[in-house]
Structure 1
Amino acid sequence: MSEIASPGQLRSAFLRWALFIVPGVLFLGFFSGQLGGSGAGNPWFMELNKPSLYPPPALFGIVWSVLYVMMGIALTLVVTARGAAARGAAIVSFAVQLALNLAWSPLFFGAHQITAALVLLVVLDAAITITIILFRKVRPLAAWLLLPYLAWALFATVLNWQFREANPDGAVGADIAAVLNPAAGKAI
């Protein structure tokens, strides 16, 4: 009996994993948004000054849904790449960046921590970049699938920064800014 899987077996394994991973990633993203109270239903957010770069609110749900599906497919490609040298590190890296991603909405919308959320996004951008590098070592297509996610996360970082600039009084994360820049903290 041969130990090499047939193409049909590989496709079947990919589909089985995808049926679990893709909805799981999508659900976690949805749950994070609900937990954080994101969007138009959040009175605190509605009172914030919106920067000119802020897109129509409906766009966020559409874009994040597509990105979470692409992330799930990318993760499935890596999970099913049994025997790949960097597979374990790539999966751990994905889990770390996903945890950071899921923490942003509760931090920004729920805790009203604009500055802390900005710091989190900078760390997330680095974590996504590391994940892309590791995914590329396992399956290049998986890395390509994460590039739109990195682009959107970078856009979110700029947008978060603009929210902080437009709402200095709404930046409850000023305590974090004081830690990052003690001289600014004394002026507050």
Structure 2
Amino acid sequence: MAPREHGGDRGKDRDDRDSEFLDKLVHINRVAKVVKGGKRFGFAALVVVGDQKGRVGFGHGKAREVPEAVRKATESAKRGLVRVPLREGRTLHHDVDGRWGAGKVVLRSAPPGTGIIAGGPMRAVFESLGMQDVVAKSKGSSNPYNMVRATFDALKKQASPRAVAARRGKKVSDILSRRRDQDATAE
């Protein structure tokens, strides 16, 4: 029987693809189910995964053991990656609000050198995304699930000048020159 040409390193490709992602465990919740004879404990994990180049996703996994819950959450996060346009690869194009349930967040673009000014779950999202400068504030629920979902709601509203120009049928320079004019009049 002849050796197969292409099947030999399938596992290696999968490991290379997985290694490009940075995953951050945001929250673990221990849940108890009361049964005859005691309690059965389970674990729920919230994980954020990103490639630090503009793609990020989050996932939720539940299992009887923590490592299994984290693995399920990581797989779920990789299935739901979203691409976020970043200005100069480091910050947002414009300020934006996000909301999910009682979780409300405000994200603002920041000048170079500011760093990530954000708390807990939002910081994990920005670090996985590869964002370097951002100012964020959570104004609602401190529940990590709602904060992460509200952050994703805000990031999905983010639009690059290229996308806005394409939608309006204009040139990118027209969009950016109008923005500069508004900034000059605001000062």
TM-score range, shorter chain: under 0.3
Bigger RCO of structures 1 and 2 (CA < 8 A, at least 6 apart):
1
Structure of higher CA gyration radius: 2
What's the TM-score once normalised by structure 1's chain length? Answer: 0.28
What's the TM-score once normalised by structure 2's chain length? Answer: 0.28
